[in-house]
Amino acid sequence: MRSRFPAIIGALLLCLTFLHASTSDPLPKADEVLKQAIERAQWQDKNKLDRQWAGTQRSINQKLNKEGHVEETVERMFQPVLVQGKPFARLISKNGKPLSGDDQKKEAEREKKFRENVSKPNKADDDDDDVELNEELISRYNFNVIRRDQVGDRPAFLLTFLPRPNVKLPEKRKMDRILNRLEGQVWFDAQNYSLLKVDMHLTEPTTLMGGLGSIRSLDFLIEMMQVAPDVVLPREVSISFEGRQLFKSMRVKQKGYFTDYRKVSELAEAK
């Protein structure tokens, strides 16, 4: 037994030497990381990798009162199915129970609208608030690489970002007023530069819809998971929001959990 100690100590020293070497490597510049991350995002979008998978979703929505106490909690479960060849997140339960008659009618109407959009897509119905990782988006912020980090079992680069000061940022869409006022942290995979995690919040209140609505605070967290060698999709999403719509104040918290990702080609057609 005693004869094994030198070998064990030698192995430990080798591990420590490797660890020190890997953690002491100079950090890349933010521009280098972002260039690789944009190329990765564009490659994934070109190959439509995220559209080839669909998962089960559990969402928890909470309404809060003025004091921040929870007034109402609603939990929903969504199961992916195919509707005319397209993945659709079908609501299958609410608060742990099968849908009631009223909820069944609402879900049937939502699915009907989805079918109509699949049959006759209308560009006017396209979501104007999609956010893509591209040069236009990152040009709004100043980024800094802080350190090497770990997200799950993946090595990552941790970057911080702030809105660029003294620069007139674009406000062509509703979402721009929010994007221009975000700061936070973002993690990119240190090997393939895929997005692994984002944690951000609003730097200051802003108005929407020409002043008919406002956002006083917004916190957003998304963490990704690897579902296939080249595919990274959401694992958990958390949003905390406080604002006003017309004359009604709103304070809500939303969480979404994604599991059991499957290829869209393997989903059953909805009946």
Please work out, in degrees rounded to the nearest 5, the angle formed at the alpha carbon of residue 225 by the alpha carbons of 110 and 253: 50
Q: What is the pLDDT of residue 9?
A: 47
Token pair of 17 as six digits: 């030497």
The H-assigned helical ranges of the chain are: 5-24, 30-46, 101-119, 135-138, 176-179
Q: Phi first, then psi: give them for residue 258, nearest 5 degrees.
A: -115, 130
Closest CA to 75 of 62, 65, 63: 62
Token pair of 212 as six digits: 């008919």
* Cα distance between residue 135 and residue 163, in whole Å: 14
Per-residue pLDDT of the chain (271 residues; tens, 9 = 90+): 444 444 544 544 444 444 444 455 799 999 999 999 999 999 999 998 888 999 999 999 999 988 889 999 999 999 999 998 899 999 999 999 999 999 999 999 999 999 998 887 765 444 556 789 999 999 999 999 999 999 999 999 999 999 999 888 888 888 898 999 999 999 999 999 999 999 999 999 988 766 677 899 999 999 999 998 889 999 999 999 999 877 788 899 999 999 999 999 999 888 7
Q: What is the pLDDT of residue 88?
A: 95
Q: What is the pLDDT of residue 232?
A: 93
Q: What is the pLDDT of residue 210?
A: 63
Closest CA to 151 of 221, 262, 95, 225: 225
Token pair of 68 as six digits: 């921040």
Q: What is the pLDDT of residue 209?
A: 63
Q: What is the pLDDT of residue 14?
A: 44
| Long-range Cβ contact pairs of 64-67 (< 8 A, separation 24 or more) | 64/251, 64/252, 64/253, 65/251, 66/249, 66/251
Are 53 and 166 in contact by the 8 Å Cβ rule? The answer is no
Please work out, in degrees rounded to the nearest 5, the angle formed at the alpha carbon of residue 187 by the alpha carbons of 181 and 188: 120
How far, in Å, are 18, 90, 113, 149, 162 from residue 23 at the CA level? 9, 45, 52, 10, 26
Beta pairing class for 154-163 and 141-151: antiparallel
Query: What type of residue sits at position 35?
Result: K
pTM equals 0.84
Token pair of 214 as six digits: 């406002």
Burial class for 188, CB neighbours closer than 10 Å (0-12, 13-18, 19+) = buried
